[in-house]
Amino acid sequence: MLNTNGTGAEGAMTYPAAQNDLNLQRKKLAHEQAEIRLKKFTRNRASVFGLAVVTLVVLLAVFAPVIAMHDPLTMNTADRLQGISAQHWFGTDNMGRDVFSRVLYGARISLTVGFTVGITSGLLGLIIGLYASTNQVADNILMRICDGLKAIPSTLLAITMMAVLGADIKNVIISLIVVNIPNMARLARSQALVVREQTYIEAMRCLGSSRKRILWAHVVPNILSPMIVQMTFVFASAIITEAALSFLGAGVPAPAPSWGNILKEGKDVIYTAWWMILFPGIFTALTVLGLNLLGDGVRDLMDPRNS
C-alpha cells in the first residue's frame, strides 16, 4: 500500500493540507487497518469456525420457510416417529411433525430470544452501570439490587418470573433480560470506574469537556469492547436458558417449535426416536459453541492495542 504510490513519510507537503490529501490518507489507513484486523481475526481458527457456524445457523433460520419441506406445526399421525429418510431428513416426532422443519424454525426462536436478550440487557446494563459509576447513592442502591438478583440462581429466577408472567415468548425474553442485567451492569460499572481514573479522561477535563460529554463520548467507547464481548456470551447463555425453560415447560408455549420444546417431547421417546433429541441437541450445542468462539475472536479484534 505504502510503497506503491510513494507518498509515505518522506513526502514533504505544504499545509494547511488539501482536503483530498486528507481523504486519501484516511482511505489508505482505513484500508491498512482493516487488513490487519482481518488478518488478526482469520489467524484465530477457532473464531473463524465460530463465525462460520453462527452464520450458517442464522442463514438457516432466515431462510427456514424456503428450506423446510414441511410445515413445522402440521401434525400427521400416520407418519409418527419415522426415522431419517429422504422425506424427513431428521425424522418425525411423536405427532408426525417433521423434525428438520421444527429445528429450523426453532433456530428462529432461539436466535430471536438470544439476540434480543443480548442487546437489550447489554444496553440497559450499560446505562445502569454508567449511572451507578457517577452517583454514589444510586450506586449503592442499584448494586445492592444487582447483588440480590445475582444471589438467586438464574434459571430458578427465570422460572419464577415465567410463573408470574405466564408462558409466552415475550415473557421469556423479559425474564432473561432481567436475569442478565446484573452482570452487564456490574461489568459496565467496574469498567467505567477504571476508565474514569485514566489520565486521558483528566486530560479531556483540562480541555474543557463537560462531564456529560466525557461520560458518553470518552468513557463509553472505552468500555464498549468488553461489553460487546460479554453480549455475545449472554447471547449464547440466553439460548441455553431458553431451551432449559422450554424443556421444563416454563418457556415458549407448546406447539411452537423451540429447541427446548422438541427436546422435551423427545425425552419421552428417547429409546425409540433418538433423532428427536439428537438434532435439536446438536444445533443448540453448536450454536452456543459457535457464539462463544466468535465472542473470543471479537474480543481480540476489538482491542486496538493487542497485536
Among 198, 216, 268, 270, binds other proteins (CB under 8 A): 198
For other proteins, which is the closer residue by CB, 3 or 19? 19
Does 222 contact other proteins by CB under 8 A?
A: yes
Q: In angstroms, how far apart are the furthest CA atoms of the chain?
A: 83
Does 166 contact other proteins by CB under 8 A?
A: no
- For residues 134 and 119, what is the distance between their CA atoms, to the nearest angstrom? 23
Does 152 contact other proteins by CB under 8 A?
A: no
Among 4, 5, 6, 13, binds other proteins (CB under 8 A): 13
Interface of this chain with other proteins, residues 223 to 252, rule: CB under 8 A: 224
Give the nearest distance from C-beta 200 to other proteins in angstroms: 4
Among 203, 270, 282, 285, binds other proteins (CB under 8 A): 203
Does 164 contact other proteins by CB under 8 A?
A: no
| Residue 43 grid coordinates | 489467524
Among 4, 39, 66, 208, binds other proteins (CB under 8 A): 208
User: Would you give the binding string for other proteins spanning residues 276-305, x where CB under 8 A is met?
Assistant: ----------------------------xx
Among 204, 228, 248, 286, binds other proteins (CB under 8 A): 204
- For residues 101 and 43, what is the distance between their CA atoms, to the nearest angstrom? 35
The three-state secondary structure class of 8 is coil
Interface of this chain with other proteins, residues 18 to 77, rule: CB under 8 A: 19, 21-22, 24-26, 28-30
User: Inter-axis angle of helices 154-165 and 169-196, to 10 degrees?
Assistant: 130
Does 15 contact other proteins by CB under 8 A?
A: yes
Residue 98 pairs with which residues in a beta bridge?
A: 92
| Residue 55 grid coordinates | 452464520
What distance, in Å, lies between the first and last C-alpha atoms of the chain?
Answer: 20
Does 218 contact other proteins by CB under 8 A?
A: yes
Q: Give the closest residue to 178 by CA, choosing from 134, 146, 224.
A: 146
For other proteins, which is the closer residue by CB, 138 or 282? 138
For other proteins, which is the closer residue by CB, 218 or 264? 218
- For residues 289 and 292, what is the distance between their CA atoms, to the nearest angstrom? 5
- Residue type present at position 68: A
Q: Which stretch binds other proteins (CB under 8 A): 72-80, 211-219, 257-265, 281-289?
A: 211-219
Q: How many CB atoms lie within 10 A of CB 99?
A: 29
Give the nearest distance from C-beta 159 to other proteins in angstroms: 40
Q: How many CB atoms lie within 10 A of CB 8?
A: 9
Q: Give the closest residue to 266 by CA, choosing from 58, 113, 103.
A: 103
Contact 32, 1 (CB under 8 A): yes
Query: Which sign, positive or negative, has the C-alpha torsion 176, 270, 60, 41?
Result: positive
Among 200, 270, 272, 282, binds other proteins (CB under 8 A): 200
Residues in contact with other proteins, counted by CB under 8 A, come to a total of 37
For other proteins, which is the closer residue by CB, 15 or 271? 15
- For residues 230 and 233, what is the distance between their CA atoms, to the nearest angstrom? 5
Q: Give the closest residue to 173 by CA, choosing from 188, 186, 162.
A: 162
Does 17 contact other proteins by CB under 8 A?
A: yes
Q: Which residues bind other proteins (CB under 8 A)?
A: 8-9, 11, 13, 15-17, 19, 21-22, 24-26, 28-30, 198-200, 202-211, 213, 217-218, 221-222, 224, 304-305
